[in-house]
Amino acid sequence: MREAGIKWGRQDFVWRYVEQSPGNYNWSFCDQMLEMAQRYGVSLLINLAYEPNWVNIDSRDAVDAYARFARASVERYRDSIKYWQIWNEPNGGFWNSTPGQYARFLVAASNAIHEADPQAKVVGLNMAFCDIQWAERMFRLIPRDSFDILAFHPYRPPNDPEERRDLWMRDHLRSDDPLVHQDFPGNLEAIRRVMEFRGAVKPIWITEICWTTQIHPYGTTELRQADLLVRFYVLAIANRVEKVFWWTLSDEGTRQFDQADMVGLCRFDLSPKYSYYAYAWMTRLLEGKRFVGMPVRSRSTYAAVFTDGEHDTVVAWTTRPYSYIRVNFSQQLVFHDIFGTRRIVPSEQRTKVLSVPLSPSPIYITAPSGIQIQYAPEPGW
């Protein structure tokens, strides 16, 4: 993780393992996890989830027991961990009760966490997909201050993040559901409208995302996974998402046809995929840089600008087979592909306006601050 520039990880405190009987906590695995994270400089978001068999998940006693578990976790680790997620995908198969019961869990646990550590942040909703109807229901059931950060998992295999079509949603929902026709920025706009309407605007984290590489329907190639990773992270930053967590570091298994197995930056044996190298190069080039803006965001062409005050780095791509941007420059331009292969355009170039061909695989352009970018009509003149 350190070699790839990964600074954050999301890990589970599995309730049923930690508290196998009421009030008896076994923190040994959690301690080991934290020690390893600290050794490698990784900050943790902790997911508190998955009820023990002694809990009746539908009962009021379960709400109180979960709040005690949350409080005990925070009291033990408050000097090291500040971000706590209340369950995983409670709008889906990981939650075995009603939306109203999740609302009660969220409120009770949030209160316990903030009492145990006023500096802690509670990450709420944590939805599978951008489930607007479920989110609206939650906001009707809970106080506005019940959590600090809203999280969701905008999976959309095999479609691009910029694509206003979602084949998985089309095949699993009604064809007229808005999610079928939303791109990733559209997801963000929709959930922000809900928060604004409820007067409960929160920062947004994406706590799971990946494009799965199974050789099966909804799969994508490993090369395309690398391209989409970079595009998604840049779009997330451009749309004011605070953090993104890729699911996961390594594949969950070795079944090449299985969507749940083929999720990682690495294979099951930790041998890197193309996406691992793309992630590592992206963090190397963009770490410490501030997002400036997206001067090109039309005609299926995208260019985002980042700066450290001395040098600008542009990340550019198109969703079409080819497109062009025009770059005005006065000093040397350095180009990299997503894996770090370099090309240089020297400052003595005969023209100070360069038409740059793009593809669905992003490129990085680095130059002294002040670089100017605009869309160039085909064929680039």
CB 138, CB 102: distance < 8 Å: yes
Helix (H, G, I), strand (E, B) or coil at 203: coil
Nearest CA among 224, 266, 264, 227 for reference residue 245: 264
For 265-288, the pLDDT digits (tens) are: 999 999 999 999 999 999 999 999
| Amino acid type, 115 | E
Residue 349 pLDDT > 80 = no
Average confidence score pLDDT of the chain: 96
Map residue 117 onto helix, strand or coil.
Answer: coil
pLDDT at 381 over 90: no
Domain boundaries, the chain: 8-286, 290-376
Angle (deg, nearest 10), helices 60-77 and 28-39 = 40
d(CA 206, CA 246): 9
- Alpha carbon 250 to its chain's center: 16
How far apart are the C-alpha atoms of 316 and 304, rounded to whole Å?
6
Domain 8-286, CATH homologous superfamily name and number: Glycosidases (3.20.20.80)
For the segment 140-169, the average pLDDT, to the nearest whole number, is 96
In this chain, the answer to whether the domains covering 8-286 and 290-376 adopt an identical fold is: no
With beta carbons less than 8 A apart as the criterion, state whether 43 and 84 touch.
no
Let me know: does 10 contact 207? Beta carbons within 8 Å: yes
- Residues paired with residue 365 on neighbouring β-strands, in sequence order: 314, 335
H or E segment to which residue 291 belongs: strand 290-298
| pLDDT band with cut points at 50, 70 and 90 for residue 374 | very high
DSSP assignment of 339-369 equals T--EEEE-TT-S-SEEEEEE-SS-EEEEEES
Contact of 205 with 197, CB cutoff 8 Å? no
Any residues with CB less than 8 A from the CB of 64 and at least 6 apart, and which?
108
Q: How many CB atoms lie within 10 A of CB 199?
A: 8
Q: Tens digit of pLDDT for each residue in 285-314? A: 999 999 999 999 989 999 999 999 999 999
**Closest by alpha carbon to 301, among 380, 210, 244, 240?**
380
pLDDT of residue 1: 87
How far is Cα 93 from Cα 240, in angstroms, rounded to an integer? 29
In the block, which residue shows the tokens 């695995």? 29
- To which residue do tokens 């998940």 refer? 57
Question: How many C-beta neighbours within 10 Å does residue 65 have?
Answer: 22
Tell whether domain 290-376 is in CATH 3.30.930.10.
no
For residue 311, what are its two tokens?
């040098």
% of the chain exceeding 90 in pLDDT: 91
For residue 166, pLDDT beyond 80:
yes
Mean pLDDT across the stretch 22-39?
A: 97
Note the pLDDT of residue 324.
97
Is 90 exceeded by the pLDDT of residue 63? Answer: yes
